[in-house]
Structure 1
């Protein structure tokens, strides 16, 4: 039974309930996620006792805005399209990943998941040696890739096959606007000697990125190169806090099987199709223990 059979087995009532969008759950979770970033940022800026220790949780919350960006490019975080697009822009700026370009990239990933010839995610190979694993988890390559993408998009409008010709002007304008905004923020920071930017945003993001790399590696790492979304994608069972910070994306096989299901309905969808999932891991620590055993 593949993902198409599972979706076909759902009743019309189940499909309607599962794919029902709503602004409420997204606004509540966004308020909690972004509110925590503002709170920690304020405490760091005020240099409360032991404030450097707050930079790690701050960074984790910032880089995990990637999972909110992911939801908003699917336009399933909120019912209102303009709200999805506005929050996508905010997340995009926070992690230097252009939203319009990422939408094209990510939809190609969904169409060709684990297809060696067409899945754009596979252009960034999974680590096969311990050295590659350490470099990958450091997060440094992904920051380089983000800024390289911004430069490439700003100068050429992105020439990747998954970006249609009509989308290239939009991708180019987006990258140029982001670069201009970053330049303005940095100039203002230098002018006013506002080093707080380093401690509230830049250093925390560098510290938090390894945790996002560890999380993302579990989504498809060591999964079969097949078309069945219940087999080429991993669901990782984890605690409530990780699910909240990651906008329920640990239910990743469920998301790939039925991308129209909003984040807040994924636990229910998991309950319905759990018996059909092929690749489930009981936690991220266990996944990485197994992954490291395969390295040479």
Structure 2
């Protein structure tokens, strides 16, 4: 199967528009990482100062979404978008974004560029995430329960943990759904960084919330919002030749951006069309495509609830 067709930006945008869209800010990239960790810290502080079921639930959902946010910023680093200096981009993308949530930047980049090259084609390594849809509501509910009860977390992480005790385990596979790359070395980095985080939580007087919020969020809310993100991006989209139709953009409201889709990840069609645009330029790219009448060729949905209705309709459309 040939690679998917590419859109020439010069045929879509005026030179001034393209120059503005492609302009990168290292300062803004760094701010996004600070924002992700600052939001996590604020959620932990909330439940530490006012411990009750409501603040705990808020903390778990917000932290789980920011864990997804760290994976999204790792994705940004994979496209060279966090910092203009490659060394800084790689270090921050790996150690502040990828490793804390169990991922590896280099492995992810290799895998992810294959996804861009063969989007929705048989060679797409992510095709298994979208091909089964639509599914029934009952099927989705079963998956959501497994996510929220930690079953998905254990299924994904336990084999990686056990690889620490298997000599010569050199197998490496990368799952876009779990953001986890296998191999004892990657699991060792994940455990080492998380041990350091526990120490920082403990020194801040919030050691219990490392387990009660950070780990619980990673074992429950993160798998669910990762699943929803994967569904929204490609499920029930076209496998045809038009690159405008291979991915979906979902117009997320403020609550959805807080709890499901941080850092403009909902503008996935724009990202696939012009994959080296900084994530913070994607909303402007979306507006320009609308102005030029090109959004009619794209799969755009008004919100995540609408996407989930489509994905769980139980019939192909």
| Bin for the TM-score computed over the shorter chain | 0.7 to 0.9
Paired position in structure 1 for 2:118:
112
Of 119-128 and 173-182, deviating more is 173-182
Query: Corresponding residue for 1:83?
Result: 88
Which of the residues 301, 304, 314 maps onto 1:281? 301
The answer as to whether partners of 2:251 and 2:303 remain within 8 angstroms in 1 is yes
Pick the aligned partner of 2:41 from 38, 50, 53.
Answer: 38
Measured against aligned partners, the alpha-carbon deviations of 1:186-233 in whole angstroms (never above 9, x if no partner) come to 8999xxxx5432113111223322133223211000111234331110
Query: Is 1:178 equivalent to 2:190 in the alignment?
Result: yes
1:254 to 255, 263, 270: 270
Residue 4 of structure 1 is matched in structure 2 by 6
Aligned match of 2:177: none
The alignment partner of 2:81 has SS state of: coil
In structure 2, stretches of 5+ residues that fail to align are 175-182, 202-206
Equivalent residue, structure 2, for 1:229: 243
TM-superposed CA distance for 1:101, in Å, is 1.6
* Structure 1 unpaired stretches of 5+: 162-170
Cα RMSD between the aligned structures?
Answer: 3.6
* Shift in Å, 1:264: 1.3
TM-score by length of 2: 0.75
Q: 1:101 to 1:221 in 2, by over 3 A?
A: same
**How many residues are matched?**
286
Q: CA deviation at 1:83?
A: 3.5
Question: Which residue of structure 2 lines up, in the alignment, with residue 74 of structure 1?
Answer: 79
TM-score (norm 1): 0.79
Q: Secondary structure, in 3 states, of the residue corresponding to 1:64?
A: helix
The change in CA–CA distance for 1:57 and 1:137 in structure 2 (over 3 A counts) is same
Distance 1:57 1:160 in 2: 29
What is the deviation of 1:234?
Answer: 0.6
Equivalents in 2 of 1:187, 1:41: separation in Å?
A: 14
Post-superposition Cα deviations, 1:34-63, rounded to whole Å, max 9, x if no partner, equal 211011113334453454233322222223
